Structure 1
C-alpha cells in the first residue's frame, strides 16, 4: 500500500448533455468505501428510476487500487458504458470517486462506438469541473508519558501536524494521536530524542 497522499473529490459534480435526442446526465461524488459507492449509485437510480439506463463505475480507494474498482453497463451493450466510465476515473488519478451516468433514451441508436464516446465523454467533461483536495494517508499512535512532558509532546505534535484523537489523564497521560504515515519515523525519533526516551510510543493494531 502506498503511503503517498492522493487526490479525492472536494464536492459533487453534475454534468448534462444531449446526444442525438438522448439525454446523458453524469454525476460524480466522493465515496470513501465500496459500501458508500454502492449507496450513492442506488440514490441516483432511485432519483432516475424512469431512465432507460443508470450506468456506473467507482474507484473506492486510490485510483490505482484495482481491488476497489467496480462498474456496470446497466443494460447497455457489454463494454460500451461501465468500462469507458471506469477508464476515465482511473485515468484522472483521483481516488474515492464514483460516477453514475443516467441516460434518457431519445429514440435514436448511437451504436457501440457512439455509446463509448457518450459515456466516456460525459465523465471526461464532468471531471474537468471536479475540484479536488489532497488526502493524506494517516495512522494512529499511542503515547504514554508523565505530566511534565506534556508541553514538549504537544509542541512536537504541532510540528508534525499530529492531531489528538483520545486522551486519558490518570497516573500518566495516555494519548492516541493521528499522524501522516510518512511522518511517523521522524516523529518517533524527535520525540524519543527530546524526551530522553521517556515517552512510550506504540502503534495500536
Structure 2
C-alpha cells in the first residue's frame, strides 16, 4: 500500500460556477464526529447557504477504514459521491470535506452539479497544504509486566503509536505500526513470544 496525503490543518477554498458559490472546507480527520461538527459550524456560519454536502476518508484512500458522503438535499449522487471520488483520485486520506453551496439563481442540472462539486474539491486539493502519511496497521499486544522495558524498546525502535493501554493481570496495548515497519515489529515481538508475549494484527 502506497503513502497518501492528509491535510496539515483546516483549509478553505472557494469557486464560483454560474453565480453559485461553492465553499470547500477540509480538515484532518480521525473520527467522523469532527466532520459533523464542521458541517454544523458551516450551517451556523452560512445560514443562507442552500446545502452543506460532505465527504470523508478515514485511513488510506487505497484501503480506507471508513469512507462516506452526504448530498445534504442535493439530488442523489450529485454532490457527496463526486466529492469522495476526487478525494480518492487525489490520494487524500484522514480527511473530511464540507462543501457549502450558495445558489446563484441558475439551475446547474445533475451533470452540472456533479462537475461543480467535483471541481470544488479538486481545486481545494490543488491548494491544500498536506503532509505525507505512511499506511499503518493496528496491532494488539499482550505481555507480562516484567517485559514492559523490552516492549517499550520495540515500540520506540519502530516508532509505533500507542492508542490505548490496559494494566490488569497482564499488560494489553493497542498500537499503530507503519506497514513498512511491520515485519521488523513482528520479528521483535516473536522473539519475545516464548516469554509470554502475544500479538494480534487487525484484520
- Tell me, yes or no, whether TM beats 0.5: yes
**Displacement, 1:94?**
1.8
Q: 1:163 to 1:198 in 2, by over 3 A?
A: farther
1:51 aligns with 2:13: no
**Structure 2 residue ranges without an equivalent (≥5):** none
1:17 and 1:25 in contact (8 A); partners too: yes
TM-score, normalised by the number of residues in structure 2: 0.73
- 2:19 corresponds in structure 1 to 21
- 2:143 corresponds in structure 1 to 143
- Which one has the largest radius of gyration? 1
Q: 1:26 to 1:192 in 2, by over 3 A?
A: closer
Task: Give the distance between the partners of 1:119 and 1:185, measured in 2 at CA.
Answer: 41
**Displacement, 1:141?**
1.9
1:81 aligns with 2:83: no
1:71 and 1:82 in contact (8 A); partners too: yes
Q: 1:5 to 1:110 in 2, by over 3 A?
A: closer
**Displacement, 1:129?**
2.1
Any idea what the Cα deviations from partners look like across 1:80-105, whole Å, max 9, x if unmatched? 22222121122222223222111112
After TM superposition, list the pairs within 5 Å mapping 1:1-205 onto structure 2: 6-65=4-63, 68-130=66-128, 131-135=130-134, 136-144=136-144, 146=146, 150=149, 154-162=152-160, 176=173, 178=175, 180=177, 182=179, 183=181, 186-190=184-188, 193=191, 199-203=195-199
Task: Give the distance between the partners of 1:192 and 1:55, measured in 2 at CA.
Answer: 47
**Displacement, 1:174?**
5.2
2:138 and 2:174 in contact (8 A); partners too: no
Q: 1:25 to 1:11 in 2, by over 3 A?
A: same
Q: 1:203 to 1:113 in 2, by over 3 A?
A: same
Any idea what the Cα deviations from partners look like across 1:114-147, whole Å, max 9, x if unmatched? 3222211010010112213315333232332648
Aligned residues: 196
Q: 1:82 to 1:204 in 2, by over 3 A?
A: closer
TM-score, normalised by the number of residues in structure 1: 0.73
1:145 and 1:200 in contact (8 A); partners too: no
Q: 1:154 to 1:74 in 2, by over 3 A?
A: closer
1:55 and 1:81 in contact (8 A); partners too: yes
Task: Give the distance between the partners of 2:83 and 2:27, measured in 1 at CA.
Answer: 14
Task: Give the distance between the partners of 1:191 and 1:79, measured in 2 at CA.
Answer: 47
Q: 1:188 to 1:125 in 2, by over 3 A?
A: closer
Q: 1:126 to 1:30 in 2, by over 3 A?
A: same
